Amino acid sequence: MKVAIQGERGAFSHEAARRMLGTDVTVLGKPSFDALFAAVADREAERGLVPIENSLAGSIHENYDRLQASPLHIVGETQLRIRHCLIARPGTTLESLRRVASHPVALAQCRRFFAERPDVEAVAAYDTAGSVLDLMKGAATYQGAIASALAAELYGGVVLREGLEDDPQNFTRFLALSLEPGPVEAATKTSIVFTLDNEPGALHNAMGAFASRGVDLAKIESRPLRGRPWEYAFYLDILGDPRGPAGAGLDALRAMAPYLRVLGSYPDGLKRASS
Amino acid sequence: MKVAIQGERGAFSHEAARRMLGTDVTVLGKPSFDALFAAVADREAERGLVPIENSLAGSIHENYDRLQASPLHIVGETQLRIRHCLIARPGTTLESLRRVASHPVALAQCRRFFAERPDVEAVAAYDTAGSVLDLMKGAATYQGAIASALAAELYGGVVLREGLEDDPQNFTRFLALSLEPGPVEAATKTSIVFTLDNEPGALHNAMGAFASRGVDLAKIESRPLRGRPWEYAFYLDILGDPRGPAGAGLDALRAMAPYLRVLGSYPDGLKRASS
């Protein structure tokens, strides 16, 4: 199966793709999220894997916007523990490192490592796995890179240290996208986007479509409507079999929402603390 | 009155400060939002002015996190139409420009200008007003900068063209922050942050505290809770006199929320399309 990701092979999206779709997936690295969405829409790849939310940084809002604008369906999700590794060329020692590169978000998640080593400079790069790739090519201005263990494996780097991240509760939620919807029989979660009339109680009534049926909501997110300042679209993740009360709630919401689109029904892939 | 902003004097925050607090304010430019919050907390400035939301790009989530973590109160808000100007040194013509600098967000909002002029290169700078300041100092590698009309006025630049932004519905909402809460008599809006128990219908019940009293909500926003993956804090803007039904709804919500903090009550400063 061909899977499109944003970034170089060995990115955390690549790890998520292997976990979700098997280690024999063929991963196509794309330079941007727009290119990733286009690759799936044009059938160059059968699936696209996009990060949608990080447990520390929050939602990746641009990808919510892309979901709404694209014809793709969400067919699955997974969560990946983001475990940053310090990677170098074989023979390099931890003590000899002076410059260490990675994507700025990864560098920001490893502040403690740099604080403890004032002689090591953090260098911003375009991609986590890409910084390992450039390092292994031998033309980099740095001696170490921070990326996934998979990136070290793919490009022949050595992991000098694992778990560089400041906070171990660092998970990213990834969505699997496809041109065709997934099988409804397997679905236990449904993601939708909708608008509401601008009147008191509108959001309460919308939530009531689910609460009155005992249906649980996993997440709500708001995004601005273009050209209508201070009005919003809402993204909602609804738990439960879409053929049961969750679907009935969705029908009730559809009757009150000026705009509503189902982004996909798929198996819930998140591990939550017990409620 | 001393007002702290993030960025150089002449930034859009400076324009917002003048609109809200008068043209005789003394503006202190701070290099980061953390420094801005600290300046108000340490009484170096009487007010801080922070952007919280843009009508195209959405919320500035890091500033929600900072509000929650800081002892400051929201005492007011304003919306500013973001009108980008092309600014140059006196004597420069539009036709002679080859490189034009600004903050990456401003450059992204002026894509059409650059698309229509393939011979003009967009150059990323640290700040909108800062790019004008550097241009006027004479040491810049570019001949034009994109920033507010105020930046041109303050630094002696010439506005070659106004309204460079692709979308005229480009507004930023700014909050005024203070160490002391504002007068409750003037307040028509209250911003809060709260958590909920992780159970079906919790958010519906929370909204019901206001819907059952006919109280309108202007905005809801969710942010991840650190260390509790896939659980969220909610930010809510409640409309109405906090001494009336809005306050009663707040008391009802307080009884069901494990955590709730009032960030401030203040006069509603947004212009909305009629509902």
Give the model confidence (pLDDT) of A34-71 as tens digits: 999 999 999 999 999 999 999 988 899 889 999 999 99
Q: How many CA atoms lie within 13 A of A236 on its CB side?
A: 31
3-state helix, strand, coil in chain B (%, to 5): 30, 30, 35
pLDDT digits (tens, 9 = 90+) for B251-273: 999 999 999 999 999 999 998 76
Q: Is the pLDDT of residue B275 over 70?
A: no
Q: Which of A77-81, A95-99, A209-213, B226-230 has the lowest mean pLDDT?
A: B226-230
* Structural contact between residues B112 and B166, judged by C-beta atoms closer than 8 angstroms: yes
Domains and CATH numbers, chain B: 2-81+170-178 (3.40.190.10), 85-162 (3.40.190.10), 184-266 (3.30.70.260)
| Stretch (H or E) spanning A191 | strand A189-195
Contact A231 B207 (CB under 8 A): no
Contact residues, chain B, for A220 at CB < 8 Å: 203, 220, 222
Active site (catalytic) residues of B = 172, 174
Residue A49 CB contacts under 8 Å (≥ 6 apart), including other chains = A3, A4, A5, A13, A16, A17, A20, A174, A175, A176, A177
pLDDT of residue B57: 84
Q: How many CA atoms lie within 13 A of A55 on its CB side?
A: 22
CA of A237: which chain B residue's CA is closest? B230
Of B217, B222, B231, the CB nearest to A203: B217
Of A58, A210, A224, the CB nearest to B224: A58
Q: For a pLDDT cut of 70, what percent of chain B falls above it?
A: 99
Angle between helix A245-256 and A202-211 (nearest 10): 160
Contact B200 A211 (CB under 8 A): yes
Tell me the mean pLDDT in the region A221-240.
92
Q: From the candidates A230, A232, A270, A271, which should be mutated to test the interface with B, based on the most B CB atoms within 10 A?
A: A230
Tell me the mean pLDDT in the region B197-205.
90
Q: In angstroms, rounded to a whole number, what is the distance separating the alpha carbons of residues B187 and A238?
A: 36
Q: Which of A256-270, B38-52, B170-184, B213-227 has the lowest mean pLDDT?
A: B213-227
Report CA Rg, chain A: 21
pLDDT digits (tens, 9 = 90+) for B222-240: 999 988 899 999 999 999 9
State how far the alpha carbon of A103 is from the alpha carbons of A22, A79, A100, A162, in Å: 26, 20, 11, 17
Tell me what the pLDDT averaged over chain A comes to: 94
Contact B204 A208 (CB under 8 A): yes
pLDDT of residue B67: 95
Of A200, A220, A227, the CB nearest to B169: A227
Of B204, B221, B273, the CB nearest to A211: B204
pLDDT of residue B38: 98
Q: In angstroms, rounded to a whole number, what is the distance separating the alpha carbons of residues A94 and A97?
A: 6
Q: Is the pLDDT of residue A94 over 90?
A: yes
pLDDT of residue A75: 98
Nearest Cα residue to B126 out of B7, B36, B4, B13: B7
Residue B232 class from Cβ within 10 Å (0-12 exposed, 13-18 middle, 19+ buried)?
Answer: buried
Q: Is the pLDDT of residue A104 over 50?
A: yes
CA of A210: which chain B residue's CA is closest? B201
Q: In angstroms, rounded to a whole number, what is the distance separating the alpha carbons of residues B238 and B220?
A: 9
Q: From the candidates B34, B63, B105, B203, which should be mutated to test the interface with A, based on the most A CB atoms within 10 A?
A: B203
Contact B58 A224 (CB under 8 A): yes
Residue B139 CB contacts under 8 Å (≥ 6 apart), including other chains = none
Tell me the mean pLDDT in the region A249-254.
98
| Stretch (H or E) spanning B59 | strand B58-59
Nearest Cα residue to A158 out of A84, A88, A83: A88
- How far off is chain B from A214, nearest CA to CA, in Å? 6
* Structural contact between residues B160 and B84, judged by C-beta atoms closer than 8 angstroms: no
Contact A272 B231 (CB under 8 A): yes
Tell me what the pLDDT averaged over chain B comes to: 94
| Stretch (H or E) spanning A51 | strand A47-54
Q: Is the pLDDT of residue A275 over 70?
A: no
Q: In angstroms, rounded to a whole number, what is the distance separating the alpha carbons of residues B52 and A192?
A: 26
- Higher per-residue pLDDT: B104 or A165: A165
Q: In angstroms, rounded to a whole number, what is the distance separating the alpha carbons of residues A14 and A195?
A: 34
What is the pTM (predicted TM-score) of this model? 0.88
pLDDT of residue B273: 63
pLDDT of residue B227: 84
pLDDT digits (tens, 9 = 90+) for A124-171: 888 999 999 999 999 899 999 999 999 999 999 999 999 999 999 899
Contact residues, chain B, for A232 at CB < 8 Å: 219
- Higher per-residue pLDDT: A124 or B243: B243
- How far off is chain B from A259, nearest CA to CA, in Å? 16
CA of B215: which chain A residue's CA is closest? A200
Confidence of residue A273 (pLDDT cuts 50, 70, 90): low
Sign of CA dihedral B53, B56, B58, B60: negative
CA of B80: which chain A residue's CA is closest? A229
Q: Is the pLDDT of residue A272 over 80?
A: no
pLDDT of residue A139: 82
pLDDT of residue B272: 75
State yes or no: is A26 an active-site residue.
no
